[in-house]
C-alpha cells in the first residue's frame, strides 16, 4: 500500500526525504543534499501531473510516494554517468515508459529492475488517488481510468474505455476543450479547464481538470493525462451565491422602503432604488459618502457619530433594532419625516449597519387629518342638537351623547346599562326591533321611523329616528348608529292641527245647521221682513262673537266670563248697569261656549223687546256656580229678570225658547229650562263640564 499523510501548499512529500540515503555497500554518487533536492523537485512534477491544486479549493486527500533506497541509488548513478542531467529527468523518463507501455531494459540497465517496483507503486497511486485520473490517446479515446474517475462520470471502466473524452463532455464546453486539447498536443503545454461531464442519466457534473501531455521517446506527446476533481458542489454554491446576490438585488430594487448600508466609518456601501427616489441622490453619488453629511440634519450629526462610537466601543446603541421617527434631508435641502430602524451586522473587525427608512410624510398628513376629523366628530357628537348613540348587536348602548340624556332624562352612565328597547314605548318596540335585527344581519343598511321614548320621569317623548350600521373591513356589522331628534312639540302641533280640522269640520257643519235653523225660524216667525232682518242679524252677530272668543282661544276652550261679557256687550246700552254678572272661573269647550252664547243672545234679545230691559227699572242677573262634588263637575247657570213689565206666558213657544230648550240643551249634553214668572223670565241651565276645563283652586 502507498502510505497517505497530509501536505500543505504545493509540497509533495517523498519517502526519500524522510529516510537515510546512505547504505553500507553503495555510497551515493551525488551529494545527499543534491539528490534530495532533485527528488523533491521531481515530487513537484508528480504533484503537478497527478493532483494540481486550485487556490480556492483545498485538496480532499494527500498522497506520498515511496522510492526505495535501491531506486534512489540507481537514479543517482544514471545522473552521475552524464546520460541524464537530473534525477527528475530519470524519473520522468521512467514514468513516460510506464504510461507509454514501453520497457527499455537496455537503456536503463539495472535501473529498470528497480523502476519495475516503482511502476507498481505508481499504478497503486493511479488506482487509489482521491482525484479522478484518466489517460486518453491523441484522438481523445480513453486508455486508462481510475475508480474515482469512473465514480465522477457514473460509468463503468469497460464502458469508458469504449468512449472518447468528447463523448462525455457537455456540448457547450466541448469547443473550448478541444482548442486547449489540440494546443497541448501541438506544444506539449499542460492546461487546466473547468467543464461539465454528462452522466448516462443526463445529469451534469462539474469538474476541474488538470491536463498534461505525456511524451514519447522523441519528446512528442503521444497521450494525455487528465486529473479531475468534482467541483459540482462548489459550482452549485457559486450559482446559489449568484442567485442570492441577484435576489438581494431584486429585493433591494423592489423594496418600497429605503435600504441603506454603511461601514463602521458611516460610509455608505449600499443605496437602493427607493433611497434614490426618496432622497434624490443616485446610487453612484451616494456610495462612499458619509451618511451623516448626506441625509442627516446638521443638529443630529454629532449625536449620530457619538452613537456609532459608542456601539463600536461597547456593542450597545440606544436606537439599534428599534423604530424611531426623525427628520431627514433630501438632495434639495428640504426636510421630511422618516421612520428609521437600524440593524447592526457583526463581521469581526468590520461591523456594518443596515438602515431601513420610510418616508412618513403622507402618514403624518393622514394622521393630522384624522386627528382633525376625530376632533370635529367629537365636537359634533357632543354638541349636536340631536341625540347620537352607538349600540351593539343586542341593542345595548355603547356610547351616547349629552343630548340623548336630555331627551330621556337618564344620565350617560344609566343609559350605558340599558338597551334602546328599555327606553322605548311598549307599543313601538316590536316595529323598531324587527328592523334593527334585519339591519344587524346585513339585510338592511338603514331605516327611519317615528317612535316614542318613555322618559325616566314617565313622560312620553316622540322622536324621529335614523338608524344606520358600521361594518368592518370584511363587511361584517360592527355596531349600529342611532340618531334621533325630539319631535314631541311637532307631534303636539300635528295632533292639535288634526283636532282643529276635525273641530272646524264639525263646527262648520253645526254652524251652518244653526244658521239654517236661525234663518228658517226667524223668517217663519217674523211679522214683517224688517223684523226678520233685524232678528236674523242680531242672532248671527251673537254667533259670530262667540266664534271670536273661541278663535282667540285657538278653539280649545273659552272663559265663561268672556262669553257672557261678549254676549251682553250689545245690550248694555239699553241696560246700562242693570246687567249683573257673577260666578267662579269656568272654561267651556267650544260646543258649550257656542250654545251658552246663543242662549244668552236669545234671552237678551227677548228682554230688550218684551222683558226687563224694555223698561228703565228692569234688571237682569246672570249667576252660575260649579258643583265639583261629582265627576264631571256640573255647571249651574241662572238667567233671572226683575223689575220689568209683568210677564204673561206666551200662547205658543217661539223660536228662541225652542232653540234654548231643545237644540242648545242637546249641544250642552244637559238641561235648559225657561220659566215665564210674573216678576220676570227665568232660565236655568245645567250641564256637565269636562274635568280638563275645570279650574282647580
pLDDT, one tens digit per residue, over 390-434 is 999 999 999 999 999 999 999 999 999 999 999 999 999 999 999
Average per-residue pLDDT for the chain: 78
Write down the pLDDT at residue 171: 96
- Candidates 663, 659, 661, 655; CA nearest to 675 is 661
Which of 60, 75, 64, 96 lies closest to 26 in space, CA to CA? Answer: 75
Average pLDDT on 606-618 reads 85
Cell 350605558 belongs to residue? 416
Higher pLDDT: 546 or 144? It is 144
* 78-107 pLDDT per residue, tens: 667 766 665 555 555 554 444 444 444 444
Q: What is the pLDDT of residue 622?
A: 94
Give the Cβ contact number of residue 24 at 10 Å.
Answer: 5
What is the structure's pLDDT at 533? 77
Nearest to 563 by CA among 537, 540, 576, 581: 581
Q: Find cell 272646524 and name the residue.
A: 504
Closest by CA to 351, choosing from 312, 407, 409, 401, is 312
583-607 residue pLDDT tens? 999 888 877 887 888 788 888 888 8
Which pLDDT tens digit goes with each residue over 467-502?
A: 999 998 888 899 999 999 999 999 888 887 887 677
Q: Is the pLDDT of residue 625 over 50?
A: yes
Single pTM value for the model = 0.39
Residue 58 scores a pLDDT above 60 = no
C-alpha 156/C-alpha 170 separation (Å) is 19
Give the DSSP H or E segment for 640: strand 633-642
Whole-angstrom distance, CA of residue 387 vs CA of residue 193: 88
Amino acid at each position: 500500500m502507498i502510505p497517505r499523510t497530509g501536505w500543505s501548499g504545493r509540497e509533495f512529500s517523498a519517502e526519500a526525504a524522510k529516510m537515510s540515503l546512505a547504505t553500507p555497500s553503495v555510497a551515493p554518487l551525488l551529494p545527499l543534499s543534491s539528490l534530495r533536492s532533485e527528488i523533491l523537485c521531481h515530487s513537484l512534477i508528480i504533484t503537478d501531473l497527478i493532483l494540481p491544486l486550485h487556490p480556492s479549493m483545498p485538496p480532499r486527500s494527500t498522497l506520498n510516494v515511496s522510492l526505495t533506497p535501491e531506486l534512489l541509488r540507481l537514479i543517482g548513478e544514471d545522473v552521475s554517468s552524464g546520460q541524464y542531467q537530473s534525477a527528475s529527468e530519470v524519473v520522468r523518463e521512467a514514468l513516460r515508459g510506464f504510461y507509454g507501455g514501453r520497457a527499455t531494459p537496455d537503456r536503463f540497465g539495472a535501473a529498470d529492475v528497480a523502476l519495475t517496483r516503482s511502476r507498481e507503486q505508481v499504478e497503486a497511486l493511479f488506482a487509489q488517488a482521491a482525484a479522478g485520473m484518466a489517460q486518453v490517446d491523441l484522438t481523445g479515446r480513453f486508455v486508462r481510468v481510475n475508480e474515482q474517475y469512473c465514480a465522477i462520470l457514473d460509468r463503468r471502466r469497460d464502458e469508458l474505455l469504449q468512449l472518447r473524452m468528447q463523448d462525455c463532455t457537455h456540448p457547450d464546453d466541448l469547443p473550448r476543450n478541444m482548442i486547449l486539447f489540440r494546443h497541448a498536443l501541438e506544444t506539449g503545454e499542460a492546461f487546466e479547464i473547468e467543464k461539465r461531464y454528462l452522466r448516462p442519466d443526463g445529469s451534469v457534473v462539474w469538474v476541474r481538470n488538470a491536463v498534461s501531455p505525456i511524451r514519447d521517446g522523441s519528446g512528442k506527446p503521444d497521450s494525455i493525462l487528465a486529473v479531475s476533481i468534482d467541483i459540482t458542489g462548489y459550482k452549485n454554491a457559486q450559482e446559489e451565491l449568484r442567485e442570492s446576490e441577484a435576489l438581494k438585488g431584486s429585493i433591494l430594487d423592489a423594496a418600497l422602503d429605503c435600504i441603506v448600508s454603511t461601514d463602521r466609518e458611516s460610509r455608505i456601501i449600499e443605496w437602493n432604488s427607493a433611497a434614490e427616489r426618496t432622497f434624490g441622490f443616485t446610487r453612484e453619488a451616494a456610495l462612499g459618502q458619509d451618511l451623516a453629511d448626506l441625509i442627516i440634519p446638521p443638529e443630529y450629526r454629532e449625536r449620530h457619530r457619538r452613537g456609532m462610537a459608542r456601539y463600536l466601543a461597547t456593542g450597545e446603541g440606544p436606537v439599534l433594532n428599534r423604530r424611531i421617527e426623525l427628520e431627514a434631508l433630501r438632495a434639495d435641502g428640504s426636510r421630511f419625516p422618516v421612520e428609521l430602524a437600524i440593524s447592526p451586522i457583526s463581521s469581526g473587525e468590520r461591523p456594518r449597519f443596515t438602515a431601513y427608512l420610510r418616508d412618513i410624510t403622507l402618514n403624518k398628513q393622514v394622521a393630522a387629518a384624522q386627528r382633525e376629523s376625530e376632533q370635529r366628530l367629537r365636537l359634533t357628537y357632543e354638541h349636536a342638537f340631536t341625540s347620537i348613540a352607538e349600540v351593539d348587536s343586542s341593542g345595548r348602548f355603547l356610547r351616547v351623547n349629552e343630548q340623548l340624556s336630555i331627551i330621556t332624562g337618564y344620565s350617560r352612565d344609566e343609559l350605558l346599562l340599558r338597551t334602546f328597547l328599555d327606553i322605548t314605548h311598549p307599543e313601538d318596540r316590536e316595529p323598531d326591533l324587527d328592523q334593527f335585527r334585519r339591519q344587524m344581519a346585513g339585510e338592511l343598511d338603514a331605516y327611519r321611523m317615528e317612535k316614542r321614548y318613555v322618559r325616566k320621569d314617565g313622560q312620553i317623548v316622540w322622536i324621529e329616528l335614523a338608524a344606520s350600521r358600521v361594518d368592518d373591513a370584511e363587511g361584517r356589522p360592527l355596531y349600529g348608529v342611532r340618531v334621533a331628534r325630539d319631535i314631541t312639540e311637532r307631534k303636539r302641533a300635528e295632533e292639535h292641527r288634526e283636532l282643529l280640522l276635525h273641530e272646524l269640520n264639525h263646527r262648520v257643519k253645526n254652524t251652518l245647521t244653526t244658521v239654517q235653523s236661525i234663518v228658517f225660524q226667524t223668517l217663519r216667525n217674523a211679522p214683517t221682513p224688517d223684523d226678520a232682518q233685524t232678528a236674523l242679524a242680531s242672532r248671527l252677530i251673537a254667533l259670530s262673537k262667540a266664534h271670536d272668543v273661541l278663535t282667540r282661544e285657538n278653539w280649545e276652550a273659552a272663559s265663561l266670563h268672556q262669553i257672557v261679557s261678549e254676549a251682553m256687550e250689545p245690550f248694555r246700552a239699553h241696560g246700562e248697569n242693570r246687567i249683573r254678572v257673577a260666578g267662579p272661573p269656568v272654561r267651556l269647550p267650544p260646543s258649550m261656549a257656542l250654545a251658552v252664547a246663543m242662549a244668552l243672545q236669545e234671552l237678551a234679545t227677548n228682554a230688550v223687546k218684551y222683558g226687563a230691559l224694555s223698561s228703565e227699572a228692569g234688571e237682569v242677573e246672570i249667576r252660575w256656580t260649579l258643583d265639583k262634588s261629582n265627576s264631571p263637575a256640573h255647571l249651574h247657570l241662572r238667567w233671572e229678570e226683575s223689575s220689568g213689565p209683568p210677564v204673561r206666558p206666551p200662547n205658543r213657544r217661539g223660536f228662541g225658547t225652542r232653540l234654548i230648550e231643545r237644540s242648545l240643551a242637546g249641544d250642552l249634553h244637559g238641561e235648559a229650562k225657561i220659566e215665564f214668572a210674573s216678576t220676570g223670565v227665568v232660565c236655568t241651565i245645567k250641564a256637565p263640564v269636562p274635568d280638563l276645563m275645570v279650574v282647580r283652586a
